[in-house]
Amino acid sequence: MNPLETVRLDWAFQALDTFKIEVPSWGFANTGTRFGKFLQKAAATTLEEKFADAAEVLRLTGATPTIALHVLWDLPEGIDSIAELKALEKRFGIKAGSINPNLFQDQLYKFGSLCNPDAGIRRHALDHVVDSIEIAKATGSRDISVWLADGSNYPGSQSIRKRIAWLEEALVTAHGELSPGQRLLIEYKPFEPAFYHTDIADWGMSAQLCAAAGPNARVLVDTGHHYNAQNIEQIVAWLLHLGVLGGFHFNDRRYADDDLTLGSIDPYQVFRIFHELQTAAFEGLQDAGVAYMIDQSHNLKGKIEATVQTVVTAQELWVKAALVDREKLAGLQKACDIVAAEELFRGAFWTDVRPAVAAWREARGLAPDPLAALREGGYVERVAKQRELMHGTGHTTASSYA
């Protein structure tokens, strides 16, 4: 049978028309592991290059109109970088998305940022968050995403409760700086770089901090920031129920925060998360305020290729989730018809949606196969040459590590 006949094309097209996902500026730059970096000639160094790469991903996928910015990496002049940023937005047709303060790379933060026992360091960190909110106002960005590396490595070496109180105090102040319509997203992570306790270790802590901070604070779920056995879709369901789900940093992991490509290890989990989101929307539980962002740093894959692959995967899994007949499923759940409910659910996951997604792309004037189009267009090779001329070789041989 023609695979297109097994798919409700109207559902698939509607799902794809509304699905947008934000790309991270740092996903285009040279990044690595703590053991080293394998430099890539095509990696972006400047903000202009990051915008150019984001525009190429948008051109190929039609789904990535915004780019997440990390303040110290992308806007080192702070608010004074805004004029350049605005010009890039116009030139490349890409908007600045979430603004990410950097509370982890400054030497001052050895013992924490907003949770540091030193009031002066806490103030310095808070000032940076407030500056980031000002930047977000200037860019018109709705979301300021706060992630702290704060925590401790040894039992007894820090007061966990005092640090909670300092954090609450800082977040209340930061929240007070938001414009109406802006949101403070609070990200959690169970460990790394702190290995005994992390100040915001899980979604419950994040949700409590949101409640303390104010009505426009929301939880940010980074899919890599969970232990292996955790049921992330249940966490998502809870956050939807509580009305505090702010957004996602999507990536995949086998062990912890591995920064692997979305869906490369467990696509069924992404499908299950997407199902929770789409069901909540179907039931009118929450408006479309949830931010979908990618947070991946590709160590071995080509940056642009990996980003296109990620977006394509997200689109395919989003469509699969859209194929769940939610009315029918609700009936089966009510009747406790376990096997039929599961088969309906699994059936959507196992449907090959690729022909439907390609049909949507053609209908919307996009390349039917974005990865193939990227290769055929030669963008990566072109920018590799340009960037090598601009910034020097970037290529590291094995002997460099000898």
Q: Please say which residue, 293 or 356, places its beta carbon nearer to Mn ion.
A: 293
Nearest to 268 by CA among 320, 329, 322, 337: 320
How far apart are alpha carbons 271 and 260 in whole angstroms?
16
Q: How far is the CB of 205 from ligand PSV (least distance, A)?
A: 16
The shares of helix, strand and coil residues in the chain, as percent rounded to the nearest 5, are 50, 10, 35
Q: Which residues pair with 252 in a beta bridge?
A: 260
**Using N-to-C axis directions, what is the helix angle for 47-61 and 303-322, rounded to 10°?**
40
Window 288-307: residues binding ligand PSV (CB under 6 A): 295
Window 351-390: residues binding Mn ion (CB under 5 A): none
- Residue 147 touching ligand PSV (CB under 6 A): yes
Q: What are phi and psi of 254, to 5 degrees?
A: -100, -30
Identify what 257 binds: ligand PSV, Mn ion, none; CB under 5 to 8 Å per kind.
Answer: ligand PSV
Identify what 109 binds: Mn ion, ligand PSV, none; CB under 5 to 8 Å per kind.
Answer: none
Identify the residue among 143, 150, 187, 199 touching ligand PSV (CB under 6 A): 187
Window 338-367: residues binding ligand PSV (CB under 6 A): none
Q: Please say which residue, 185 or 348, places its beta carbon nearer to ligand PSV.
A: 185
Identify the residue among 222, 252, 276, 305 touching Mn ion (CB under 5 A): 222
CB 274 within 8 A of CB 317: yes
Q: How far is the CB of 200 from ligand PSV (least distance, A)?
A: 11
How many alpha carbons lie under 13 Å from residue 351 in its C-beta half-sphere? 31
CB 387 within 8 A of CB 395: no
Window 230-269: residues binding Mn ion (CB under 5 A): 249
Q: For strand 23-24 and strand 66-70, is the pairing parallel, antiparallel, or unpaired?
A: parallel
Q: How far is the CB of 120 from Mn ion (least distance, A)?
A: 27
Q: Please say which residue, 41 or 70, places its beta carbon nearer to ligand PSV.
A: 70
How far apart are alpha carbons 114 and 350 in whole angstroms?
45
Sign of CA dihedral 114, 171, 191, 73: negative
Residue 12-51 contact track with ligand PSV, rule CB under 6 A, x = bound? --------------x-------------------------
- Residue 100 touching ligand PSV (CB under 6 A): yes
Q: Residue numbers of the site for ligand PSV (CB under 6 A)? A: 26, 100, 147, 187, 189, 222, 249, 257, 295
